Amino acid sequence: MDQIPTPIDHGTHSATRLLTWLSPSFPVGGFSYSHGIEYAIEAGLVRDQPSLASWIDGILRFGAGRNDGLLLLAAYRATRAYDVPGLVLAAGQAAALRGTMELAQEASAQGAAFLKAIAGGWPHYADAPAVKALATADCAITYPIIVGTLCAIAGIEEPVAVEAYLTAFANNLISAGIRLVPLGQSDGLRTVAMLEPRITGYVATLAALSLDDLGGAALAVDWSSMKHETQYTRLFRS
């Protein structure tokens, strides 16, 4: 096993740091991606609060939410174990496992933006050997991989990192739905509240899985993303 002599920060200011990194104001451009929801609304598949909640829950349970959680965990554990091959393997799978061009762009663009922001505010983290190993890998650095790697280096607890990531991911999609359907803030908050216990349950399930369990069944999401690539009028990049 190759070693990454990456210094681990033992949780100093970890809660504050995680809230900052996954805040909507952190400059990763998450607001510009709808993950195919824009076309799903155009096609009438998402039209109100219940259908929006069901659609996002499906992404979390069967689509990118599930896979991103597994990939984040793999990156986190490889970084903590100083396992270069494991980290690079996870990065390669994360870059390849995207159903459409736009979803691949969404994952890689946010990953690059996240790393750039970290380099600006926390350069000692961006200079860590684990991050350098990712930078020299022959694949794009995707969002879940870099978040998992940096959370491990920052000493943020594994389940907390996954739960916060999935919550931020879901809330970004809820925000897109509020703007596009359109829905009121109360409908958005109802959706947040409905998904909250489900995300907690999904995190517990993911903890016992590995990269061997990667895979998805959110076919309507991938189809919506493909159709979005040629949608005539659109506000979002995915």
The string of pLDDT tens digits covering residues 94-141 is 999 999 999 999 999 999 999 999 999 999 999 999 999 999 999 999
Q: Quick check: 10 pLDDT over 70?
A: no
Cis peptide leading into 24, omega within 30 of 0?
Answer: no
Q: Quick check: 91 pLDDT over 80?
A: yes
**Smallest Cα–Cα separation from 71: which of 58, 57, 89?**
89
Mean pLDDT of the chain: 94
Tell me how crowded residue 23 is: count the other CB atoms within 10 A of its CB. Answer: 12
With respect to CATH, is domain 14-23+35-223 assigned 3.90.1530.10?
no
pLDDT, residue 5, reads 53
Q: pLDDT band at 8, cuts 50/70/90?
A: low
What gap in Å lies between CA 194 and CA 209, rounded to an integer?
24
Q: pLDDT band at 1, cuts 50/70/90?
A: very low
DSSP letter at 9 equals P
Cα 225 vs. chain centroid, distance in angstroms?
Answer: 16
Establish how many alpha carbons lie within 13 A of residue 104's alpha carbon, considering only the half-sphere containing its beta carbon. 14
35: left (phi over 0), alpha (psi -120 to 50) or beta: left
Would you kindly state where each structural domain of the chain is located, as residue ranges?
A: 14-23+35-223
Contact criterion met (CB below 8 Å) for 45 and 55: yes
DSSP one-letter string for 169-205: HHHHHHHHHHHHTT--HHHHHHHHHHHHHHHHHHHHH
pTM over 0.75: yes
Q: Quick check: 181 pLDDT over 70?
A: yes
Tell me how crowded residue 124 is: count the other CB atoms within 10 A of its CB. Answer: 11
Note the pLDDT tens digit of each residue in 50-61: 999 999 999 999
